Amino acid sequence: MTTLGNGIKKVGLAPNLKSGFYGQDIISVRQFTRENLEYIFAVADEMRAVVKRVGSTDLLKGHVLACVFYEPSTRTSSSFIAAMSRLGGSVIPINEVRFSSVTKGESLPDTIRTLESYADVIVLRHPEVGASQVAAEYARKPIINAGDGVGEHPTQALLDLYTIRTELGNLDGLHVAMVGDLRYGRTVHSLARLLCLYDVRMTFVAPELLRLPLDVLNDIRSCGRPVAESYSVQDAISDVDVLYVTRVQRERFADQAQYEAVKDFYVITPELMAEAKERMIVMHPLPRVNEISYSLDNDPRAAYFRQMENGMYIRMALLAAVLGKA
Ligand code: NCD
């Protein structure tokens, strides 16, 4: 146990959040329980109401967030920055690591040690699996994982789950199909694991090359939820409550010919959606490339832009919780 200068105690590494969020790292969805998810969702509901009513609050006035992105990002970085700004705090944005000392050869631990001497919480995106965990081992301040390579993306999974709950009213009893790059898609790895906390049936739709990694599949099987794998989105579409579509992660392929072979394997079109239930939603963590036709955007079941907006409310809730102000 480390006692921090500001009185926050960080207990072990990536601990389970039974004791609440205050001062804790957010590294993996494995940390969450249904109880603390409900808490974050309730706070996110309040954040939404505040933003709609008055735009911002001064809950985190005087607090500083360091936002460090070693990989490209539009939504995750800007929604964290917007979240901190709407809570009255300020941000050190390091989106272009090429302008930081990282290009001079500075290590991740030294970068983290530097930023935590200026900031109260650090959001980190990094191309290597486990990078946030490593950062958390060095940092005395909370580290929030904003994506570690093909590993996890826990805050995206929180906003995904929050979206399903907001759109469909409940989580138990649903059939969720995840489609596309299940191999490299970290949002899928986190969401699938998180859904294990609920009575949810999951179908994983991917070409052979992009099937869900065995360790994730085993995690889901071991929690006893019904799981199916399929190549065909047509076969799954009529029965699902949530269709979670993902981009083929071009940057993860060593062989670009392999990427070309699978890049447009699935495209969700209005014709395909004619087979889907009337009450269901289509989600996507975004960015989309070709996998959802633009002509679907006006379908009320297309929830991906609402999902993206929810990211800001969830991140406001998380920042407030981790800094002990929720
Ligand atoms: C995702 C990511 O970075 O993993 N984007 C996001 O955070 N919303 C998905 C992707 O890049 O395809």
Residue 7 binned pLDDT confidence (cut-offs 50, 70, 90): very low
Radius of gyration, CA atoms only, the chain: 19
Question: If you average pLDDT over residues 242-256, what whole number do you get?
Answer: 96
pLDDT in tens, 69-100: 999 999 999 999 999 999 999 999 997 676 67
Contact between 157 and 194 under an 8 Å Cβ cutoff? The reply is yes
Q: Which atom of ligand 1 is nearest to the CA of 246?
A: 12
In this structure, the residues whose C-beta lies within 6 A of any atom of ligand 1 are 75-76, 147, 153, 156, 186-187, 247, 249, 285-286
- CA 8 and chain centroid, separation: 25
Give pLDDT, residue 16: 56
Residue 101 binned pLDDT confidence (cut-offs 50, 70, 90): confident
In the residue annotation, 126 being an active-site residue is answered as no
Q: How far apart are CA 53 and CA 50, in angstroms?
A: 5
Question: If you average pLDDT over residues 219-230, what whole number do you get?
Answer: 94
Residue with more model confidence, 185 or 102: 185
Residue with more model confidence, 255 or 101: 255
Percent of the residues in the chain that have a pLDDT greater than 90, as a whole number: 89
- Please tell me the distance between residue 235's alpha carbon and the centre of ligand 1 in angstroms: 26
Provide CB contacts within 8 A for 162, sequence distance 6+. Answer: 40, 41, 44, 310, 313, 314
Question: If you average pLDDT over residues 151-170, what whole number do you get?
Answer: 97
Question: If you average pLDDT over residues 98-111, what whole number do you get?
Answer: 81
Residue 20 binned pLDDT confidence (cut-offs 50, 70, 90): confident
The type of residue at 99 is F
Listed in sequence order, the DSSP H helices in 21-87 are 34-54, 75-86
Give pLDDT, residue 17: 65
- Please tell me the distance between residue 222's alpha carbon and the centre of ligand 1 in angstroms: 26
In the residue annotation, 53 being an active-site residue is answered as no
Contact between 1 and 15 under an 8 Å Cβ cutoff? The reply is no
Give pLDDT, residue 8: 44
Give pLDDT, residue 11: 47
Residue with more model confidence, 197 or 10: 197
Question: If you average pLDDT over residues 208-213, what whole number do you get?
Answer: 97
Q: Whose CA is nearest to atom 1 of ligand 1?
A: 285
What dihedral angle (degrees, nearest 10) is formed by the CA atoms of 202, 204, 205, 211?
A: 180
Q: Parallel, antiparallel, or unpaired: how do β-strands 9-10 and 90-94 relate?
A: unpaired
Q: Please calculate the CA angle 150-128-77 and round it to the nearest 5 degrees.
A: 80
Give pLDDT, residue 310: 98
Residue 272 has pLDDT above 60, yes or no: yes
Residue 323 has pLDDT above 90, yes or no: yes
Mean pLDDT across the chain: 93
Cα first-last separation, the chain = 24
DSSP 116-144: HTT-SEEEEEESSTTHHHHHHHH-SS-EE
In the residue annotation, 9 being an active-site residue is answered as no
- CA 321 and chain centroid, separation: 17
- Please tell me the distance between residue 80's alpha carbon and the centre of ligand 1 in angstroms: 14
Tokens of 225: 């939820």
Distances (CA, A) of 76 to 73, 155, 222, 287: 6, 9, 30, 11
Contact between 29 and 194 under an 8 Å Cβ cutoff? The reply is yes
Give pLDDT, residue 102: 75
The torsion angles phi and psi of 301, rounded to 5 degrees, stand at -80, -15
Residue 302 has pLDDT above 80, yes or no: yes
64 by Cβ neighbours in 10 Å (0-12 / 13-18 / 19+) ranks as: middle
pTM score, whole prediction: 0.94
Question: If you average pLDDT over residues 53-70, what whole number do you get?
Answer: 97
In the residue annotation, 76 being an active-site residue is answered as yes
Distances (CA, A) of 252 to 43, 179, 181, 245: 35, 17, 11, 18
Catalytic residue among 10, 125, 247, 315: 125
Contact between 157 and 191 under an 8 Å Cβ cutoff? The reply is yes
**Domains of the chain with bracketed CATH:** 2-152+309-322 (3.40.50.1370), 154-308 (3.40.50.1370)
Q: How far apart are CA 37 and CA 12, in angstroms?
A: 21
Give pLDDT, residue 12: 45
- What is the edge-to-edge ordering of all strands in the sheet holding 242-245? 227-230, 201-205, 175-179, 242-245, 281-283
- Please tell me the distance between residue 154's alpha carbon and the centre of ligand 1 in angstroms: 11
